[in-house]
Structure 1
Amino acid sequence: MTDSSGYSMYVFRSGRRDVPGRRLVAELADDLGALAAPAGADRGRGVVLRALIRAGELESILADAGAGSASLLAGLTDDLAAMLVGGDDAGALAISDGPTSDHGRSDVWPRTVRRLTTPEALAALAVIDVPATARTSPPEGFSFYALHPLDFARLAERLASPPAPVRVVGIRSIGTTLSAVTAAALRRQGLRAGRITVRPSGHPYDRRVELGARELRWVQDGIAEGAQFWVADEGPGFSGSSFLSAGDALVGAGVPRGNVVFLGSRAADPDALVAPDGARRWRSFRAERVECGTQLPGDAGEFIGAGAWRRRCYDNESRWPPSWTSMERLKCLSRDGSRILKFEGMGRYGAECLERARGVAQAGFGPEPRDEGQGFLAYPWLPGRPLQAGDLSAAVLERLADYCAFRASAFPVPSPVTDELIAMARTNFSTEMGDDLAGELYLEIARPVLVDGKMDPHEWLGSASGELFKVDASGHGDDHFLPGPADIAWDLAGAILEWRMAPDARRAFLARYRRRSGDDPERRLPAYLLAYSLLRLGYAAMAAASLPDEAEARRFVAARHRYRAALIEVLGPTAPSSAFG
């Protein structure tokens, strides 16, 4: 089996959830109302940012639904983007230190606020034809990767080249907000800039963009005025197909290839893109990337993200747990070293993470969070050391069981559908074993929760006083990796496998959990042990295939072998003969 097999694994989830459409409108209206409330510059920045992300989300939903009110939301998104880029009346939100202008600096902020929050404007928002139920997913860059809308504004300022006009194409969903901010930054530089959004469709590795009649007219008008066409989105991902599909559609509509520019959040390795003919297609376009993670709290000091935290926690590199460094959340120490400043997400996603982190802390299982704004939470740097599987003891077993019982009651969710987890298990099994997973796989849902998702020993910190704290407990259960919301049996299975519990330890662990929760998971646990081992195997395989650092890749190769061994043990006599080859 070659390393490239990792790219065939199934580890990412759709992350989509059904939300009442009217609730989304009401939340946006609340944000607009908050704009009119007296506030300092820092609070004003946060309110505008939150409102902008919500407006972009709702605009995307309406555009996908073909709703006529999408244009109303597009205007609102543009107004909020101009406010964020231009700054408030004190200039606190300005992204550059140039001279004060009439656009977006002096009285534009209060005038825009007044216009957006009039009774007529709020009434128009209240009656838009939003779907009764909207399918939403967290914008990954804003939720997981510390991508700030102003990062795209800075890139636009750097690339602005008067007098050429620019037409910005945002790739829905997150590209909606990014296109609005990009266009606002260009207009602030005195350029003509307009925007539309598109939704690629098809296989994730081979997307297609179909331009409708209105979009084609917009493109033709841009060609006639000699415009450049900038495509705005986060990424590119493994395939690059969303960017490529938009670029190909523009070229197909007559745009000179040299006039198409991709604006993304990551630098692509064209030879690693898995889209059909991806390397040649990507190199035929110009691509620019933003500098992410620039909107740091003012107290940010030493960078400890991308696995760098391990240098402070381990005296020997051989003991480092593996880290998919490009997927880690952005983390810094405060300047005095007393706090960890961690990006937990902007908008709705970040607010939910903060609420969970507070719940974990109030129950005594984790450190107390503090909201630093711009998607960052601060946690105290606790003295102690990350645990290892060899640290398992009766006290540790009790703490693990108590924590799972706590999550089972503290973070309930509507019963999730398990189809995606079952598809993951079958895909990863056949990729790893070269055979089909025999029989039916049924993942019973008895205690649906937002799981922790990371019960690994190094996620537990042992203090000098003997206390055990769960760190990194708020985001993993609802990020862009599987499992997402699941039965609490997922975390039970994770604890059993990650701590390598012997049969007697497993019995004690489950007995403690039953006493604390009133839940007997024995019947449903075998299926979750199987699914958990297959997800973690796939995760290790994909990480090993994608990481350029050889030492890091070797750690994941070792992890892949360990999860494979765990899988074979879970399967027992039913393991296919190919599993032992």
Structure 2
Amino acid sequence: MTDSSGYRMYVFRSGRRDVAGQRLLDELAADLRALADPAGAALRRAVALRAVIRAGELESILADAGAEGASLLARLTDDLAALLVGVGGGDAGALAIPDGQTSGHGRPDVWPRTARRLATPEALTALTAIDVPATVPTSPPEGFSFYALHPLDFARLAERIASSRTPVRVVGVRSIGTTLSAVTAAALRRRGIQADRITVRPSGHPYDRRVELAAPQRRWVEDGIAEGAQFWVADEGPGFSGSSFLSTGDALTGAGVPRGNVVFLGSRAPDPDALVAPDGARRWRSFRAEIVDYGTHVPGDPGEFIGGGQWRRRLYEDESSWPASWTAMERFKCLSREGDRILKFEGMGRYGAECLERAHGVFQAGFGPEPRDEGQGFASYPWIPGRPLQADDLSTAVLERLAEYCAFRASAFALPSAPAEELIAMTRHNFSTEMGKDLPGELRLEVARPVLVDGKMDPHEWLRSSSGELFKVDASGHGDDHFLPGPTDIAWDLAGAVIEWRMAPDARRAFLDLYRRRSGDDPERRLPPYLLAYALLRLGHAAMAAASLQDEGEVRRLVAARQRYRAAIEALGLETLSSALG
């Protein structure tokens, strides 16, 4: 087994969910009305941020469908991006100027006329009359939802690297690249630089995507070549392969753009030699790449950065006790200068609002700290003096607390339904990748109690406070992020508790009995396949993390975690495996 096997693991989920198309239009229309309301001046930044994300999402959906309304949404996204970076119809922009200051004209800043124009009855009627399907598939934009990527990070990058009056053609990679391309172009126009944009949708295998330019897009590229434009490709990432960027760059050069005129605008600097796209290192190095600066839009005075696994230095006496972490995938976190609050990125837009609502539910039920909305996708929580638990801390009291928490989630975060197909596919794929053979028999994952699971029942996710109380931390986002499992049966969290706490048979029986009495749900029959699926997902997660990181200490912890999950799979035994497979 080589380290590269980690890249073949199945750990990410599609994240797609169906939403009412008209609902998305109505929500965007409500944002436009709020932007034009003089009484809402204090909320303009938040509303404009939410609106440009929503507009980009809708534009991507309509563009993918080839719908007529895509061009109207593209103009609206551009207008909202202009508001966000402070352009807007010739007026100085409020959003780019700190509160209480004046515009560059020396007068108190005013909301641009653009906001009023976008909220006229005629404009709103045209928006809500766009023909959209009854339901549309949506996915949370990862950078805006999970990684504290702010649209204005790309505006700052554009202003930093724009060094002349050379025209720029911006190509956004759908979906999140739609909003990013609009903000990038708006920032360039603010500098007096001619800028235009389109969006593209790479397709094919995630590690070897392709971009096909439609005839109008090829003419747009040719016009840019004729005017001597640079071509900037805007997207988050690159990911493991870099193929979305690379396929877009290849499409541009294939259409005649000089390679030196193509610039990638991304959110991280990759190791080209680690990119798994075909010939990825050579292709990546043939293009110029520029990366945004993170952490420039953190609300207030953030204090000490404790993301990327640094929080462990605050909670453990030495590194030998540290739990493994895929540090590059952790949420942005800071500890206040007073040391009494932790500031955490929970997500912008609809995703962040739902995450914050769940955090409030966990607090009100007495399982976690109280969240406070800090704006721009951030929430803060009280820093709980205490220590994280370890598997050796398992006791009757801990079993009771775990069972109570699972029963709470089964009730409070219940869903009408949850699909099992992707989890089944993951289980079969990761088993064959790790074990070198196929699963024997048919895997069934019964979804009797569909729920938005916690997804992280590890001992270190529980803190014992100085007063002896047990608190669940990090309880709002993992069940609905871009990793599997996504919504599924509560048996997922039950299986997670059994495996992560290394429960002996008597402890497992006691735990399930406690859960049964509190929930009225008997999970015993449907649990075995979830034990297998859980262990294989966590094994795959550890393997992929180890393959992607360079820190030797972290890699050792992740390799040890992978071995531990493999041992857990082998310990299930033939009887459990047989009942899981049927």
Tell me if both proteins adopt one fold, taking TM over 0.5 as the criterion: yes
Which range moves more in the overlay, 171-180 or 18-27? Answer: 18-27
Per the alignment, residue 2 of structure 1 pairs with 2
State how far apart, in whole Å, the 2-side matches of 1:543 and 1:345 are. Answer: 22
Cα pair distance change 1:19/1:567, threshold 3 Å: same
Per the alignment, residue 47 of structure 1 pairs with 47
Q: Does the CA-based 8 Å contact 2:529-2:577 persist in structure 1?
A: no
The one-character-per-residue Cα deviations of 1:513-543 (angstroms, maximum 9, x if unpaired) are 0111110001110000000000000001111
Per the alignment, residue 579 of structure 1 pairs with none
Amino acid at match of 2:372: R
State how far apart, in whole Å, the 1-side matches of 2:393 and 2:196 are. Answer: 59
Alpha-carbon offset, residue 567 of structure 1: 0.5
Cα pair distance change 1:42/1:293, threshold 3 Å: farther
Per the alignment, residue 116 of structure 2 pairs with 114
State how far apart, in whole Å, the 1-side matches of 2:157 and 2:98 are. Answer: 12
Correspondence 1:533-552 to 2 at 5 A: 533-552=535-554
Correspondence 1:148-547 to 2 at 5 A: 148-547=150-549
State how far apart, in whole Å, the 1-side matches of 2:208 and 2:39 are. Answer: 47
Alpha-carbon offset, residue 131 of structure 1: 1.7
Per the alignment, residue 83 of structure 2 pairs with 83
Per the alignment, residue 563 of structure 1 pairs with 565
Q: Does the CA-based 8 Å contact 2:92-2:104 persist in structure 1?
A: no
Alpha-carbon offset, residue 44 of structure 1: 1.1
Q: Does the CA-based 8 Å contact 2:87-2:190 persist in structure 1?
A: no
SS of match in other structure, 1:461? strand
State how far apart, in whole Å, the 2-side matches of 1:242 and 1:190 are. Answer: 29
Cα pair distance change 1:350/1:39, threshold 3 Å: farther
Alpha-carbon offset, residue 35 of structure 1: 1.2
SS of match in other structure, 2:344? strand
Q: Does the CA-based 8 Å contact 1:85-1:95 persist in structure 2?
A: no
Per the alignment, residue 34 of structure 2 pairs with 34
Alpha-carbon offset, residue 333 of structure 1: 1.0
State how far apart, in whole Å, the 1-side matches of 2:303 and 2:175 are. Answer: 33
Alpha-carbon offset, residue 475 of structure 1: 0.2
Amino acid at match of 1:272: A
State how far apart, in whole Å, the 1-side matches of 2:447 and 2:214 are. Answer: 43
Q: Does the CA-based 8 Å contact 1:95-1:154 persist in structure 2?
A: no
State how far apart, in whole Å, the 1-side matches of 2:87 and 2:449 are. Answer: 47
Q: Does the CA-based 8 Å contact 2:94-2:109 persist in structure 1?
A: no
Q: Does the CA-based 8 Å contact 1:50-1:346 persist in structure 2?
A: yes
Alpha-carbon offset, residue 243 of structure 1: 0.3
Cα pair distance change 1:29/1:510, threshold 3 Å: same
Alpha-carbon offset, residue 294 of structure 1: 1.7
Per the alignment, residue 125 of structure 2 pairs with 123
The one-character-per-residue Cα deviations of 1:332-387 (angstroms, maximum 9, x if unpaired) are 01221111000000000000000000000000000000000000000000111100
Alpha-carbon offset, residue 571 of structure 1: 3.9
Which range moves more in the overlay, 123-132 or 227-236? Answer: 123-132
Q: Does the CA-based 8 Å contact 2:345-2:377 persist in structure 1?
A: yes
State how far apart, in whole Å, the 1-side matches of 2:183 and 2:546 are. Answer: 35
Amino acid at match of 1:239: S
Per the alignment, residue 574 of structure 2 pairs with 572
Cα pair distance change 1:105/1:128, threshold 3 Å: farther
Which range moves more in the overlay, 312-321 or 34-43? Answer: 34-43
Amino acid at match of 1:545: A
Amino acid at match of 1:12: F
Cα pair distance change 1:337/1:153, threshold 3 Å: same
Per the alignment, residue 74 of structure 1 pairs with 74
State how far apart, in whole Å, the 1-side matches of 2:423 and 2:401 are. Answer: 28
Alpha-carbon offset, residue 418 of structure 1: 1.1
Say if 2:48 is the partner of 1:25: no
Q: Does the CA-based 8 Å contact 1:207-1:241 persist in structure 2?
A: yes
Cα pair distance change 1:399/1:573, threshold 3 Å: closer
Cα pair distance change 1:316/1:396, threshold 3 Å: same
State how far apart, in whole Å, the 2-side matches of 1:143 and 1:414 are. Answer: 24
Q: Does the CA-based 8 Å contact 1:530-1:571 persist in structure 2?
A: no
The one-character-per-residue Cα deviations of 1:76-99 (angstroms, maximum 9, x if unpaired) are 101110011017978552179999
The one-character-per-residue Cα deviations of 1:288-310 (angstroms, maximum 9, x if unpaired) are 11112221111310111001111
Cα pair distance change 1:226/1:415, threshold 3 Å: same
State how far apart, in whole Å, the 2-side matches of 1:150 and 1:59 are. Answer: 19
Unmatched tracts of structure 2, length 5 or more: none
Q: Does the CA-based 8 Å contact 1:183-1:193 persist in structure 2?
A: yes
Amino acid at match of 1:148: H
For these two proteins, the number of residue pairs brought into alignment is: 574
State how far apart, in whole Å, the 1-side matches of 2:64 and 2:179 are. Answer: 15
SS of match in other structure, 1:300? coil
Alpha-carbon offset, residue 31 of structure 1: 1.2
Q: Does the CA-based 8 Å contact 1:430-1:436 persist in structure 2?
A: yes
The one-character-per-residue Cα deviations of 1:127-173 (angstroms, maximum 9, x if unpaired) are 00112211000000000000000000000001112220000000000
Cα pair distance change 1:39/1:320, threshold 3 Å: farther
Q: Does the CA-based 8 Å contact 1:143-1:350 persist in structure 2?
A: yes
Amino acid at match of 1:24: L
Q: Does the CA-based 8 Å contact 2:19-2:135 persist in structure 1?
A: yes
Amino acid at match of 1:484: G
Q: Does the CA-based 8 Å contact 2:86-2:94 persist in structure 1?
A: no
Alpha-carbon offset, residue 572 of structure 1: 3.0
Q: TM-score, normalised by structure 2?
A: 0.96
The one-character-per-residue Cα deviations of 1:255-308 (angstroms, maximum 9, x if unpaired) are 111100000001011111110111111111111111122211113101110011
Alpha-carbon offset, residue 100 of structure 1: 4.6
SS of match in other structure, 1:22? helix
SS of match in other structure, 2:309? coil
Q: Does the CA-based 8 Å contact 1:6-1:541 persist in structure 2?
A: yes
| Percentage of identical aligned residues | 80
SS of match in other structure, 1:114? helix
The one-character-per-residue Cα deviations of 1:416-456 (angstroms, maximum 9, x if unpaired) are 21111111111111111111111000000000000000000
Which range moves more in the overlay, 27-36 or 441-450? Answer: 27-36
State how far apart, in whole Å, the 2-side matches of 1:278 and 1:300 are. Answer: 37
State how far apart, in whole Å, the 2-side matches of 1:398 and 1:237 are. Answer: 41
Amino acid at match of 2:52: L
Cα pair distance change 1:392/1:100, threshold 3 Å: same
Amino acid at match of 2:358: R
State how far apart, in whole Å, the 2-side matches of 1:87 and 1:476 are. Answer: 37
Q: Does the CA-based 8 Å contact 1:448-1:486 persist in structure 2?
A: yes
State how far apart, in whole Å, the 1-side matches of 2:498 and 2:577 are. Answer: 20
State how far apart, in whole Å, the 1-side matches of 2:4 and 2:129 are. Answer: 51
Which range moves more in the overlay, 253-262 or 288-297? Answer: 288-297
SS of match in other structure, 2:444? coil
Which range moves more in the overlay, 293-302 or 111-120? Answer: 293-302
Alpha-carbon offset, residue 38 of structure 1: 3.6
Alpha-carbon offset, residue 30 of structure 1: 1.3
